Amino acid sequence: MKFNFSKWHGLGNDFVIVNGLEESIENYEEMAIKVCDRHFGIGADGLVILLKSEIADFKMRIFNSDGSEAEMCGNVTRCMARYVFEHGLTDKKKITLETKAGIIKPELIFTNGILDTVKVDMGEPRLKRSEIPMVGNADEQVINEILRVGDIEYNITCVSMGNPHCIIFVDDLTLVDLSVIGPKIETDPIFPKKTNVEFVQVLNKQKLRMRVWERGAGVTMACGTGTCATLVAAVLNGKADRQATIELDGGTLFIEWGLDNHIYMSGPAVEVFRGKYL
């Protein structure tokens, strides 16, 4: 199966974008596994398909490197906004994207005629157990709750940004073996649809350091929805202001929890190369 693609990344969280308005792929799940393989494929954290939408400017479907479909991804939202603009598919600087988590609204920000950043209205955080989802009382919030994994207890705060996140604050992020503990928490029975896992070190109330184990992808260099969920969790635990810079392995994102209860994420989106998959 042959198709044209474009490789993008947001702070090292990388994606293969395919224009489904022009290209045809029979099985997205199987193709995601193939193209995301970093030895035998293109190499990426996910495969993203651009499609026609009846309710927004465009629709996108996001498939993780293991073939599972994600509801949302903040980093790829920024990449897709720049993709449709720079590939001549729209002349809008404010775009609506249909996702499995609802309609997301990215905006291209220009300074002196040069694209400076992409700001995304990520919508409202969802805090009830039923919305994340988690086992337990449907209407309860999970703030600084104890989760026991093996012989270790973790204080977790859980937030959904259209996809589930489990945030854990630590004093020293360098002591966390993310590749070991990440998958254990991701697949804990308390999360019926699994979860993304963020370990966070608070540097000050305006700056946090975060590392992420992404559901279906493993350790990645950045996670847009994860940074949004991290700020929410930090505010709920009294550890951060409502605006903060989140430092990730791949760079930094600026996150704001607005008075309208919406989360706004600002950061880069970079096209790496274009090619044809053979």
Q: Decide if 36 is catalytic.
A: no
DSSP type of residue 261: S
Q: Which residues contact 101 (CB under 8 A, 6 or more apart)?
A: 71, 72, 123, 161, 162, 163
User: Which residues make Cβ contacts (< 8 Å) with residue 237, sequence separation at least 6?
Assistant: 143, 144, 157, 169
Active site annotation includes 79: no
Q: Which residues, 6 or more positions from 176, have their beta carbon under 8 angstroms from its beta carbon? A: 170, 199, 211
The DSSP symbol for 89 reads: S
Q: What is the DSSP string of 120-188?
A: EE----B-BGGGTT-SS-TT-B-SSEEEEETTEEEEEEEEESSSEEEEEE-S-GGG--HHHHHHHHHT-
Residue 88's region, left for phi above 0, alpha for psi from -120 to 50, else beta, is left
**Identified catalytic residue from 73, 79, 166, 228:** 73
Cis, peptide link before residue 133, omega less than 30° from 0? yes
Residue tagged active-site, from 36, 158, 223, 228: 223
Which residues carry out catalysis? Answer: 73, 223
